[in-house]
């Protein structure tokens, strides 16, 4: 009993305090005092005291600790430490640590979390969202864009330029709109959820994301800013940014495109410049771009710039009319006609002034890209994907209420409800992720890890939602034509999965790979200490970080065990009510993640870098913690609305289930097995307990999506015009609700044998003739019938009407093959 008291005292002290050598010693001292008071013999106490002294004297005397303990650990750490390349170091230095650091710490600071401001639009931003952004959506026709013109119509391009859509992030002094990151995100989500959203949102996103404007704002010379930014804001210049090459996709740092510093002729004068050779592909807006942002490796063999020969990756701006630049050809990404194509050049000469930031920034391109990508990746793809997920969820909910089979709306069948629940929850999670991560940018963070999480999971959620929408719509979704409002998003969903860091790369290498070094409270300091050029100073720095790290591990081990036994219910939560348990479970899983991350790093060292499946599982746990946090933040920001509780519960339950699944998978494959067994006892002392979302919660979500008054997000494009899918479905859904008493009257009459017509439309006339409906009521039902017919109809085309796409082969009547 006494030994249990000693153990329990140490365990609780370590679990509920940030453990250091001092707090651990105090805890043991308290336990020893308890034993002295209640123990059975002084001799046992003396032995216990000597054992404690044997441990704590070396720890407490700096000279002994440094020589006996720290130096061996220092040498071991140096041997197992993975090599960090210069490009990896730049990537690690490029971003900042935000809420992801709190989740990685094992002890999230919830008061800091609640102190984050609610993302808000200014009056000017709200007016733009409800004005030009909505107007732009209303002028688009997806079938015209995707099948007839293979581009936005000319009037849409003019509108984008006139209303300065390409200058959302450019300061007003240069003619831009200077909107917040949150406004930028809302505008993209609005466009993406409207007609032709996949094409239109991509065109608007690129100039405001990783492109010349973003690079110029942060690194450009004043002359470059004054020349380009006003032209970019007005749309006089259309930018693109060329990074990917056939030989360097995800491994962007390995680009073979090169430039050589040399003298050359520029506009009739001998000028010091660069001769560039490059081959780029997949470049959005390239076919229509007037200025090309180009990434290449710059060499200075004659050392004209006074430095080394290999200057490194460099970014430059190349005007479209530069001799030797090949541009204008198009790719067709999954038949989605947003402008995308290759950019090539051989021995293209441009002056050094074309380098973003001038000659002084030669070789600084990788740092530029990493810093800007952390911001751009937090906005563009999360916003575009979220907009498409919101539209798919709302369209499917409305369609499931309108479409009837077996005498019932298909939304009443549990199989359809299950699909709707997943769609609604995924769209809600994506919207929460979008808002939370955009907030980080507005707080002047460069959220490298959160942006990777948001990009990965928003695009995954959008793809899953698109697939489920196809399942719910069935044949309606399969038949392409002007009446199909979901197939193009489904068709194009893999594009977002692939670009700006393919999701396989992001999940397996970036989220935890960068998170472990960037977010961990001590690992980075230990690495810097080991790399210190002064060994004595490095050992001192390592001693400080290492023993703080040891206390951190002890605290999280104890915390994992205590919170695992109690389900986190004894930990701090900043709120009371139905979401309190979610905060407490995040506390538990945060401690588990911190413990398992340290264990994996200690057991595998540099090998963890190549054990991508293990790294991915740890990244999944971090991602799910971040997603659950974003959902709770949104719920708090909106005043804890009761109608959203089902979405919060579903997403959090799903996140916790996935976390335990990821951690279980890690422990099943971690070696040595005795270590994995010990860790399992700490992390899952009572076994895996997190269950998937409840069916009843899913039913609540499915019913909400079928309610015409429910809106998942104000960012979604909303219309009352029947010529738009959103307007047709919304109008039909409202009319359906208004007509429900009349429909129930007809169904009752049919059951009683008063109505015998088999077709719904014919029953209306029969009921009118028998006095069961008034003339106005019959007219109301006929108008509803016409709307329903519009909703469920599919398109058909006369022979020869479907012209082949440009470049498609066709066989002539003479048997010869020609191309359109």
Task: Compute the distance between CA of residue 187 and CA of residue 693 in angstroms, rounded to an integer.
Answer: 32
Cβ atoms within 10 Å of 58's Cβ, excluding its own: 15
Cβ atoms within 10 Å of 742's Cβ, excluding its own: 19
Q: Which two tokens stand for residue 209?
A: 């994301």
**In angstroms, how far is CA 612 from the centroid of its own chain?**
20
Q: Which helix (DSSP H) or strand (DSSP E) does residue 434 occupy?
A: helix 414-442
* Residue with tokens 């106005």, as numbered in its chain: 776
Q: Which two tokens stand for residue 285?
A: 């807006």
- Cα radius of gyration (the chain): 31
Out of 237, 500, 766, 777, the active site residue is 500
Task: Compute the distance between CA of residue 115 and CA of residue 104 in angstroms, rounded to an integer.
Answer: 19
Q: Tell me whether residue 549 is exposed, middle or buried, using C-beta atoms within 10 angstroms of its C-beta: 0 to 12, 13 to 18, 19 or more.
A: buried
Q: Are 420 and 472 in contact (CB under 8 A)?
A: yes
Cβ-proximal residues to 426 (8 Å cutoff; 6+ apart), any chain: 389, 393, 461, 462, 464, 465
Task: Compute the distance between CA of residue 414 and CA of residue 420 in angstroms, rounded to an integer.
Answer: 10
**318: β partners:** 292
Q: Are 512 and 594 in contact (CB under 8 A)?
A: no
Q: Which of 208, 227, 224, 207 has the alpha carbon at shortest distance from 216?
A: 224
**269: β partners:** 266
- Helical axes 212-219 vs 222-234, angle rounded to 10°: 150
* End-to-end Cα spacing for the chain: 87
DSSP state letter for 132 = I
- The answer to whether residue 418 is catalytic is no
**Phi, psi angle pair for 104, to nearest 5°:** -80, -15
**In angstroms, how far is CA 502 from the centroid of its own chain?**
12
Task: Compute the distance between CA of residue 624 and CA of residue 636 in angstroms, rounded to an integer.
Answer: 18
336: left (phi over 0), alpha (psi -120 to 50) or beta: beta
Q: Which sequence positions are flagged as catalytic? A: 500
């Amino acid at each position: 009993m006494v030994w249990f008291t000693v153990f329990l005292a140490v365990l609780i002290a370590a679990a509920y305090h940030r453990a250091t050598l001092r707090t651990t010693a105090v805890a043991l001292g308290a336990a020893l005092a308890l034993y002295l008071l209640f123990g059975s013999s002084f001799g046992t106490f003396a032995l216990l005291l000597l054992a404690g002294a044997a441990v704590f004297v070396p720890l407490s005397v700096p000279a002994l600790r440094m020589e006996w303990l720290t130096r061996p650990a220092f040498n071991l750490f140096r041997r197992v430490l993975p090599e960090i390349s210069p490009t990896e170091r730049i990537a690690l230095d490029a971003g900042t640590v935000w809420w992801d650091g709190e989740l990685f710490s094992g002890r999230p600071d919830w008061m800091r979390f609640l102190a984050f401001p609610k993302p808000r639009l200014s009056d000017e931003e709200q007016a733009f969202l409800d004005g030009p952004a909505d107007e732009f959506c209303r002028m688009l026709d997806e079938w015209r864009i995707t099948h007839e013109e293979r581009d936005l119509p000319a009037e849409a391009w003019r509108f984008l330029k006139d209303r300065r859509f390409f200058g959302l992030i450019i300061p007003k002094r240069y003619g831009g709109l200077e909107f917040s990151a949150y406004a930028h995100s809302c505008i993209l989500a609005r466009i993406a959820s409207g007609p032709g959203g996949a094409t239109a949102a991509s065109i608007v996103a690129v100039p405001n994301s990783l492109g010349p404007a973003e690079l110029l704002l942060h690194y450009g010379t004043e002359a470059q800013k004054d020349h380009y930014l006003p032209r970019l804001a007005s749309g006089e210049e259309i930018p693109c940014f060329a990074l990917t090459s056939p030989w360097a996709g995800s491994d962007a740092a390995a680009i073979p495109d090169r430039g050589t510093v040399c003298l050359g002729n520029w506009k009739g004068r001998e000028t010091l410049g660069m001769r560039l050779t490059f081959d780029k592909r997949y470049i959005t807006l390239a076919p229509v771009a007037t200025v090309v942002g180009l990434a290449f490796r710059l060499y200075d063999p004659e050392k004209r710039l006074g430095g080394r020969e290999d200057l490194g990756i460099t970014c430059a701006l190349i005007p479209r009319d530069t001799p030797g630049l090949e541009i204008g050809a198009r790719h067709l990404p999954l038949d989605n006609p947003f402008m995308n194509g290759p950019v090539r050049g051989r021995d293209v000469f441009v002056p050094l002034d074309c380098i973003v930031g001038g000659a002084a920034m030669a070789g600084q391109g990788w740092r530029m890209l990493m810093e800007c990508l952390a911001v751009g990746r937090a906005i563009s793809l999360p916003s575009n994907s979220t907009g498409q997920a919101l539209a798919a969820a709302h369209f499917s909910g409305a369609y499931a209420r309108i479409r009837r089979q077996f005498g019932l709306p298909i939304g009443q069948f549990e199989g359809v409800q299950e699909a709707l629940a997943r769609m609604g929850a995924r769209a809600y999670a994506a919207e929460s992720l979008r808002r939370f991560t955009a907030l980080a940018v507005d707080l002047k963070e460069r959220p490298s890890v959160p942006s990777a999480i948001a990009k990965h999971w928003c695009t995954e959620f959008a793809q899953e939602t698109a697939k489920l929408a196809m399942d719910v719509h069935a044949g309606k979704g399969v038949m392409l034509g002007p009446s199909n409002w979901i197939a193009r998003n489904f068709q194009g969903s893999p594009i977002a999965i692939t670009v700006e860091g393919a999701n396989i790369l992001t999940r397996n290498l970036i989220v935890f790979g960068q998170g472990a070094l960037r977010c961990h409270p001590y690992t980075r300091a230990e690495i810097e200490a080991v790399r210190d050029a002064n060994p004595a100073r490095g050992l001192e720095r390592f001693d400080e970080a290492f023993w703080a790290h040891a206390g951190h591990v002890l605290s999280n081990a104890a915390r994992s065990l205590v919170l695992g036994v109690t389900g986190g219910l004894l930990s701090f939560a900043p709120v009371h009510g139905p979401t309190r348990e979610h905060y407490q479970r995040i506390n538990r899983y945060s401690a588990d993640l911190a413990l398992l991350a340290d264990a994996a790093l200690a057991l595998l060292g540099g090998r963890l870098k190549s054990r991508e499946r293990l790294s991915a599982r740890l990244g999944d746990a971090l991602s799910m913690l971040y997603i659950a946090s974003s959902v709770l933040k949104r719920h708090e920001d909106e005043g804890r609305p009761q109608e959203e509780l089902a979405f919060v519960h579903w997403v959090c339950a799903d996140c916790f289930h996935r976390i335990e699944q990821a951690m279980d998978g890690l422990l099943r494959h971690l070696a040595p097995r005795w270590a994995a067994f010990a860790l399992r006892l700490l992390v899952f002392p009572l076994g895996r307990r997190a269950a998937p979302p409840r069916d009843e919660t899913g039913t609540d979500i499915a019913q909400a999506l079928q309610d015409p008054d429910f809106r998942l997000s104000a960012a979604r494009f909303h219309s009352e015009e029947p010529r738009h899918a959103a307007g047709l479905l919304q109008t039909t859904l409202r009319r359906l609700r208004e007509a429900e008493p009349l429909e129930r009257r007809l169904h009752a009459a049919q059951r009683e044998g008063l109505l015998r017509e088999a077709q719904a439309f014919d029953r209306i006339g029969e009921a009118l003739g028998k006095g069961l409906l008034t003339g106005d009521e019959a007219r109301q039902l006929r108008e509803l019938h016409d709307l329903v017919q519009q909703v469920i109809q599919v398109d058909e085309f006369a022979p020869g009407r479907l012209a082949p796409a440009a470049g498609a082969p066709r066989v002539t009547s003479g048997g010869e093959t020609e191309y359109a």
